[in-house]
């Protein structure tokens, strides 16, 4: 009998502890769209991307021009002249592709710049999320936009507006 009572007691305590956990979620995209420094960072990254893409386009246009000139002059060239022109075009194409990879590759300058500009904004958001969690005695906060699959979330657990307020911003209106 005592064992049964003890088992029931521990089961009750375990269930109570499980139900006592408090969860909430945030929408990080929604929060970031309210942060002027994030919007500014996005504009900086976009400007760099456009600038570098123009440089890449100019390099490939030059290659295209050289190739068309080569095709037009090919009939009049000796075998040695053809090899030199082909090598020149191939070299310029390799240089252009290397430049493109250097700027836009996974470890390229754009990705590095993006990380260096956006990381402080994300850190600021993370601190605000942590402060909201501590102020409201929450055990966990999920990000609605992350890998965690959230099949349903009641809006009463959405703490995105609280995070925006904690950042000193106004919820409800996207910053422009």
Model confidence pLDDT, tens digit, residues 61-86: 999 999 999 999 988 889 999 999 99
Assess contact for 70 and 85: CB atoms under 8 A: yes
Q: Which residues pair with 158 in a beta bridge?
A: 25
Residue the block writes with tokens 């006592």: 20
Q: How many residues does the chain have?
A: 176
Q: What average pLDDT does the chain have? A: 84
- The per-residue pLDDT for 150 is 59
∠ CA 82-84-87, nearest 5°, is: 105
Domains and CATH numbers, the chain: 22-166 (3.30.910.20)
pLDDT in tens, 97-156: 999 999 999 999 999 999 999 999 999 998 998 888 888 888 888 888 877 665 456 677
pLDDT band at residue 33, thresholds of 50, 70 and 90?
very high
Stretch among 10-19, 30-39, 60-69, 115-124 having the lowest mean pLDDT: 10-19
3-class state of residue 83 by DSSP: helix
């Amino acid at each position: 009998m005592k064992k049964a009572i003890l088992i029931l007691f521990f089961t009750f305590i375990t269930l109570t502890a499980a139900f006592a956990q408090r969860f909430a979620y945030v929408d990080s995209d929604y929060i970031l769209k309210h942060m002027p420094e994030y919007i500014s960072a996005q504009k900086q990254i976009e400007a760099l991307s456009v600038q570098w893409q123009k440089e890449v386009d100019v390099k490939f246009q030059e290659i295209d021009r050289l190739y068309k000139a080569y095709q037009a002059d090919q009939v009049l060239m000796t075998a040695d002249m053809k090899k030199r022109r082909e090598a020149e075009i191939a070299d310029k194409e390799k240089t252009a592709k290397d430049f493109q990879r250097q700027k836009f590759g996974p470890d390229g300058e754009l990705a590095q710049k993006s990380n260096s500009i956006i990381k402080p904004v994300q850190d600021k958001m993370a601190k605000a999320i942590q402060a909201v969690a501590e102020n409201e005695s929450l055990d966990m906060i999920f990000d609605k936009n992350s890998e965690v699959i959230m099949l349903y979330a009641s809006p009463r657990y959405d703490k995105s507006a609280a995070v925006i307020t904690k950042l000193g911003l106004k919820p409800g209106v996207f910053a422009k």
